[in-house]
Amino acid sequence: MTVMDIRSAALGLVSRRDLVDLTSELVAIPSFKGQETPLAHHVAAWCGERGYEVELDEVEPGRFQVIATLRGSGGGRSLMFNGHLDTNSLTRGWERDPFAGWVEGDRVYGHGAQNMKGGLATFMVAAEAVRRSGARLSGDLVLAFVVGETQGGEGMNHLMNRGFRTDMAVITEPFGADNIATIHSGIMHFAIHVIGRSGHLSQVENTVHAVNKMAKVLLALDGIRFSCEPYPPLPALPRLNVGSIIGGRGETYRSEPPYIPDMCTIVVDVHFVPTQTVEGVLDDVRAVLDGLKAEDPDFEYRIEMPVPDFIEGRRRLVMEPVDLPVDSPVVQALAKAYEELEGHPPKTIGAILPTAYSACDTSWLCKAGISAVNYGPTAAFAAGGPEGAYVVLSEMEKVARVLTLTALDVCR
């Protein structure tokens, strides 16, 4: 077969039916953060049955992710298709089984379809199209199914610390089939503890109410202004959000209403830009809190980073912001494949707003020196019900076709 015959054959193997079936198959196996191992075993078996070299990578005791490799003959460039197995928690309001994928119009529904089981299915179908086409690759095509992305990239950080490398990488996060996302913010989490002085309500005059003091913190942080240079590609950042609050008596936050609470904790998320550092963000927050202390000698606080382990949903790791040059090899490879298929360049290469106001595992890949971007099908989720938990099927098909040609070009 000629090169053109192989390319045509590979594109013909990208099937909408396969995309739907695989997405539904992945959705059917719950994989909340920290509970990804059953899905890891499933995708490991799927890849093994098709001849990929499969490694079950133990990130922590009993918690596995999967690295599957379609081995090339040697000497060519290697490419990683990457996505995370973990999903966010299940919201209220589902009227159908959230783990039974279903199709309505151009959308595939189900919990986790949008983040990011639709993306996983997309690169799995693309890799299979390459393998089944009979193409002889020189470089390796790697499928990485990692854990803990929603915790700050636990699995990807582990993989990079192991020294695992490819020349390029594409993560199929939902930035849209017509966009190549080269820029995203950083994310950091930390806790702020306010320490009070407890006592019985009958002797309130000798107490310091930690929850009331924290109320002042919330108001002050709501108006924080960070001391950094603006970053035009991410004009709405930096942003700070207080994601949770807990208060009570003692280090266990015991609820004893007749007693004044002497401990209150908030978990803070800051999405930051390349002109900031982690320590710079903390310095700006300390300046706000020190201002409160100057006005109130009874105000006592401390910052803890990482957030204490017992607080669910916290991120232990910092994801650094990314701004990959548009002339990077993986950007050029994707753009070339896209234009070959669509007859025009991608709509946007750069910051895809508002999605770029968050972060993902390209942070760890780029930090490790791997040319990596996000390119995946549009997906969405509306809180309170299933009507928005979907991935767009036609965009899955387009992305899978672009990834197929990209793999054939990069790994040839």
- The DSSP symbol for 283 reads H
Q: Which long-range contacts (CB under 8 A, 24 or more apart) does 37-42 make?
A: 37/62, 37/63, 37/64, 39/85, 39/145, 40/64, 40/65, 40/66, 40/85, 40/145, 40/147
Which of the two residues, 389 and 241, has the higher pLDDT score?
241
* Residue extent(s) of CATH 3.30.70.360 domains in the chain: 186-304
For CA atoms 211, 90, 47, 329, the dihedral sign is negative
- Residue 320: pLDDT band (50, 70, 90) is very high
Beta-bridged to residue 344, according to DSSP, are: none
Name the percent of the chain lying above pLDDT 90. 90
Beta-bridged to residue 222, according to DSSP, are: none
* Residue extent(s) of CATH 3.40.630.10 domains in the chain: 3-184+321-410
27-51: average pLDDT: 97
Is pLDDT of 190 > 60? yes
Is pLDDT of 221 > 70? yes
Q: In this predicted model, what pLDDT tens digit does every residue of 135-171 receive, in sequence order?
A: 999 999 999 999 999 999 999 999 999 999 999 999 9
Nearest partner of 380 among 153, 180, 109, judged by Cα: 109
351-376: average pLDDT: 97
Is pLDDT of 59 > 70? yes
Helix/strand/coil for 146: strand
The Cα–Cα gap between 213 and 292 comes to: 9
In angstroms, what CA-CA distances link 221 with 177, 235, 314, 359, 363? Answer: 37, 19, 19, 22, 27
Helix/strand/coil for 212: helix
49-53: average pLDDT: 97
231-247: average pLDDT: 97
8 Å CB contact between 261 and 209: yes
Place of tokens 């039974």: 100
The Cα–Cα gap between 273 and 232 comes to: 10
**The listed CATH number (3.30.565.10, 3.40.50.150, 3.40.630.10, 3.30.1300.10) that belongs to domain 3-184+321-410:** 3.40.630.10
> Which class in CATH covers the domain with range 186-304?
alpha beta
- Residue 383: pLDDT band (50, 70, 90) is very low
Q: What is the DSSP string of 70-112?
A: E--SSSSPPEEEEEE--BPPPPS--SS-TTS-EEETTEEESTT
- Report the side by side order of strands in the sheet with 239-248: 239-248, 263-272, 186-195, 301-304
The Cα–Cα gap between 200 and 208 comes to: 11
Q: What are phi and psi of 202, to 5 degrees?
A: -70, -15
The Cα–Cα gap between 192 and 189 comes to: 10
Nearest partner of 246 among 311, 150, 315, 317, judged by Cα: 311
The Cα–Cα gap between 229 and 184 comes to: 16
- Residue 3: pLDDT band (50, 70, 90) is confident
8 Å CB contact between 190 and 266: no
Q: In this predicted model, what pLDDT tens digit does every residue of 191-205 receive, in sequence order?
A: 999 999 999 999 999
Is pLDDT of 384 > 60? no
Two tokens, residue 166:
């490819």
pTM of the model: 0.92
Q: Encode burial over 342-365: b for 16+ CB neighbours within 10 A, e otherwise.
A: eeeebeebbbbeebbbebbbbbbb
Nearest partner of 147 among 251, 63, 53, judged by Cα: 63
The Cα–Cα gap between 38 and 344 comes to: 41
Is pLDDT of 363 > 80? yes
- Tell me which H or E stretch contains 216: helix 210-222
Rounded to the nearest 10°, the torsion over CA 68, 74, 75, 79 is: -10
- Residue 88: pLDDT band (50, 70, 90) is confident
Is pLDDT of 184 > 70? yes
Average pLDDT over the chain, rounded to whole? 95
* CB atoms near residue 56 (< 10 Å): 12
In angstroms, what CA-CA distances link 81 with 42, 119, 196, 226? Answer: 18, 10, 50, 36
Alpha helices of 16-168 — where are they, by DSSP H?
16-27, 37-49, 118-132, 154-161
- Residue 67: pLDDT band (50, 70, 90) is very high
- Residue 382: pLDDT band (50, 70, 90) is low
Place of tokens 């299979």: 128
